Amino acid sequence: MRRSLFRLATALVLTGAAGFGAVACGTGESPSGNDGNTSTGAAGPSGSPSTAPDSALDPNATVNVRLVLEPTSLNLTTTAGAALEQLLLDNVYQGLLTVDTNAGNKIVPALAASYEASPDGLTYTFKLAAGAAFHDGSPVTADDVVWSLQQAVAPGSKQPNAKALASIAGVAAPDPGTVVVTLKQRDNDLTWGLTGRAGVVYKKGTDFAKLDATENGTGPFKLGGWQRGSSVTLVRNDAYQGPGPKAKAAKVVLRYITDRNAANNAQATGQTDIQTSADATLLQPFTGNAGFAVLRGTTTDKYTLALNNAKPPLDNPAVRHAIRRAIDKNALIEALGGAGVRVGGPVPTADPWYEDLTGIDAYDPAAAKKLLADAGFGGGLKLTLKIPSIYPAAIGDVLVSDLKKAGIDLTVKQQEFTAWLTEVYTAKDYELSLVNHAEPRDLGNYANPAYYFGYANKQVQDWFAQAVAAPDEKTRTALLAKAARQASEDAAADWLFQAQTITVVRKGVAGAPQHFTSSRLPLAGVGIVK
């Protein structure tokens, strides 16, 4: 008996350690690679969600939506991770501003009806939308906004992403409908920061420790219930007065299904109405089937091959360039099913400062070999790649075979995401690593020499700092584009591809989200035709 007990315990620990299935990691990373963002289809987004007039929709409908990553808690102020933002932002909680995912993540007003910045960029004045109220019925006042922002930026704040608001010097409420934010220095990223979780408005005096169990948001949905390990139910807030329209459906059940086959079967058999992050290699039941629409959407998921710039031999730019030139990105995207686009640099296509950098270090295995020989590694080079086990193993296989042709002997070491966070991300103990950097507007990572990339170029850091404080949008965009180009020319990392996200929608479902679904998923507009 004792032996079987030991075997059981070992087996349980091992299945866990091997990262069996998608790990619900509390991070900004989307492991959607496991579940299909990396698969077949055209290069650009295509398909479009069907729409229907309100009168055609069933107001009592329940919509079932398949999601991948279940959050580990429902508390935006304590737990990091895209899973939580995907679920709660825009649906249950709102900030002064939000983004329009159908317009390339454009910043648009939410609880603030309008806002303006002073010419010196140091003062932002927000006018609150009329009618907005918390779920307990009390109206949203300037006092609530001031209090919430003060909590986020208070010294010692543990709120994830609070640093997005670090430039705030003070917040004041000259009258109940107006909020004035003053900054320490000009910060062109402030409005973006306010669209995220750090900008969420809570009722003044909310006990953040209790948000796991209770919610008092302002959004079009209330939290109905959480069946841990299975689903979260959102219930329409019938008293909702805006901003934006009331939820079309009475209930939305978000079903967390990690297994891609199970998710596909659920969609094919009508258990779910919308399947996000569908696997493109498993689309056969849906393509050419009048019962379903297949939407291809943009993401900011940059599958980034991190090269430890601070560690030999990768501190040698020639080695980094050689690695970039040795990898055939087109073939890689093909091997993963095709749902990706090349970017050639650190900026996703949706960011205003994106430009096509695929010309830099274009695929050329002969040139890669020569670069290595000139750098003194003609006799071959042994490197190790640490890759979280949530990503498709095919990526590692392609990299090994491509780099072999250039004379690099690559060993792939899979590890659990949490282990990756400690070993690679925090301790920087790695040579090559691969992670999906899912955040939009994260160019700052290349201007931060302490980041795990170990990339330090004073010029890039200066341009980035100037961009943050730039007097106008055009100057800022130009500076950031320059910084991105320089990072690519320095081979600060390699950018394998930007993933596409595939959403399968059952016929008769209107208003399904299409773009950026792993980070934001506004569901108020989703309805079911009668």
Partner 1 sequence: MTVFVVRRLVLLVVSLFAASVLTFALLRLLPGDAAAAIGGITADEAQLRAVRHELGLDRPLVQQYATWLADVLSGDLGRSQLNGTSVTAELGEKARVTGPLVLGSLALALAGAVPLGVLAALRHRSRVGTGISAASQIGIALPTLWVGLLLVTVFAVQNRRLPAQGFPVEGWAEPGQALRSLVLPWITLALSEGAVLLRFVRSATLDVLGQDFLRTARANGRTRAGALWRHGLRNASGPVVSVLGIQVAALLVGAVVVEKLFALPGAGSMLVADVGNRDLVKVQGEVLVVVAIVLAVGFAVDVGQRLIDPRLRETGR
- Closer to partner 1 by CB, 258 or 488: give it: 258
| Member of 73, 125, 191, 349 binding partner 1 (CB under 8 A) | 73
Classify residue 122 by burial, with Cβ atoms within 10 Å: 0-12, 13-18, 19+.
middle
| Member of 421, 487, 499, 524 binding partner 1 (CB under 8 A) | 421
Q: Is the peptide bond before 245 cis (omega within 30 degrees of 0)?
A: no
CA dihedral 499, 500, 501, 506 (to 10 degrees): -160
Find the shortest distance in angstroms from Cβ 394 to partner 1.
Answer: 19
CA 358/CA 368 separation, integer angstroms: 16
**Which range binds partner 1 by CB under 8 A, 4-12, 133-141, 394-402, 480-488?**
4-12
**Which range binds partner 1 by CB under 8 A, 18-26, 311-319, 457-465, 489-497?**
18-26
Per-residue contact flags (x/-) with partner 1 for residues 196 to 235, judged by CB under 8 A: ----------------x------------x-xxxxx-x--
- Closer to partner 1 by CB, 267 or 477: give it: 267
CB atoms near residue 179 (< 10 Å): 27
Find the shortest distance in angstroms from Cβ 28 to partner 1.
Answer: 5
CA dihedral 221, 274, 499, 70 (to 10 degrees): 50
Q: Residue 308 has which token pair?
A: 């430890």
**Which range binds partner 1 by CB under 8 A, 69-77, 106-114, 298-306, 322-330?**
69-77
- Closer to partner 1 by CB, 29 or 361: give it: 29
CA 194/CA 168 separation, integer angstroms: 11
Find the shortest distance in angstroms from Cβ 419 to partner 1.
Answer: 4
- Residues 25-54 touching partner 1, rule: CB under 8 A, are 25-29
- Closer to partner 1 by CB, 364 or 423: give it: 423
- Closer to partner 1 by CB, 247 or 253: give it: 253
- Closer to partner 1 by CB, 420 or 463: give it: 420
| Member of 202, 354, 417, 430 binding partner 1 (CB under 8 A) | 417
Find the shortest distance in angstroms from Cβ 481 to partner 1.
Answer: 24
| Member of 35, 70, 144, 494 binding partner 1 (CB under 8 A) | 70
Q: Residue 32 has which token pair?
A: 């959607």
Q: Residue 523: left if φ>0, alpha if ψ -120 to 50, beta else—which one? A: alpha
The reply to whether 301 sits near partner 1 by the rule CB under 8 A is no
- Residues 80-109 touching partner 1, rule: CB under 8 A, are 80-81
Residue 233 has, within 13 A of its CA and on its CB side, a CA count of 8
CA 390/CA 402 separation, integer angstroms: 22
- Closer to partner 1 by CB, 158 or 458: give it: 158
Q: Residue 218 has which token pair?
A: 């302002």
| Member of 216, 218, 258, 275 binding partner 1 (CB under 8 A) | 258
- Closer to partner 1 by CB, 72 or 125: give it: 72
CA 124/CA 117 separation, integer angstroms: 4
- Closer to partner 1 by CB, 5 or 290: give it: 5
* Closest-CA residue to 486 (of 507, 518, 450, 462): 462
- Residues 303-362 touching partner 1, rule: CB under 8 A, are none
Q: Is the peptide bond before 53 cis (omega within 30 degrees of 0)?
A: no
The reply to whether 161 sits near partner 1 by the rule CB under 8 A is yes
Locate the DSSP E strands across 146-290. Answer: 168-175, 178-183, 221-227, 231-236, 251-256, 274-275
The reply to whether 289 sits near partner 1 by the rule CB under 8 A is no
Asked if 328 and 335 count as a contact pair (C-beta separation under 8 A), the reply is: no
DSSP at 422:
I
* Closest-CA residue to 72 (of 26, 23, 21, 17): 26
* The total number of residues written for the chain in this structure: 530
- Closer to partner 1 by CB, 81 or 243: give it: 81
- Closer to partner 1 by CB, 28 or 525: give it: 28
The reply to whether 155 sits near partner 1 by the rule CB under 8 A is no
Locate the DSSP E strands across 118-239. Answer: 123-128, 168-175, 178-183, 221-227, 231-236
Find the shortest distance in angstroms from Cβ 475 to partner 1.
Answer: 27
| Member of 15, 118, 384, 401 binding partner 1 (CB under 8 A) | 15
Asked if 256 and 70 count as a contact pair (C-beta separation under 8 A), the reply is: yes
Find the shortest distance in angstroms from Cβ 228 to partner 1.
Answer: 7
Find the shortest distance in angstroms from Cβ 334 to partner 1.
Answer: 26
- Closer to partner 1 by CB, 78 or 123: give it: 78
Those residues with Cβ within 8 angstroms of residue 15's Cβ, 6 or more apart along the chain or in another chain: none
* Coil/strand/helix, residue 318: helix
Binding site for partner 1 (CB under 8 A): 1-2, 4-5, 7-9, 11-13, 15-17, 19-21, 23-29, 70, 72-75, 78-81, 156, 158, 160-161, 163, 212, 225, 227-231, 233, 253, 255-259, 261-263, 265-266, 268-269, 271, 415-423, 425-426
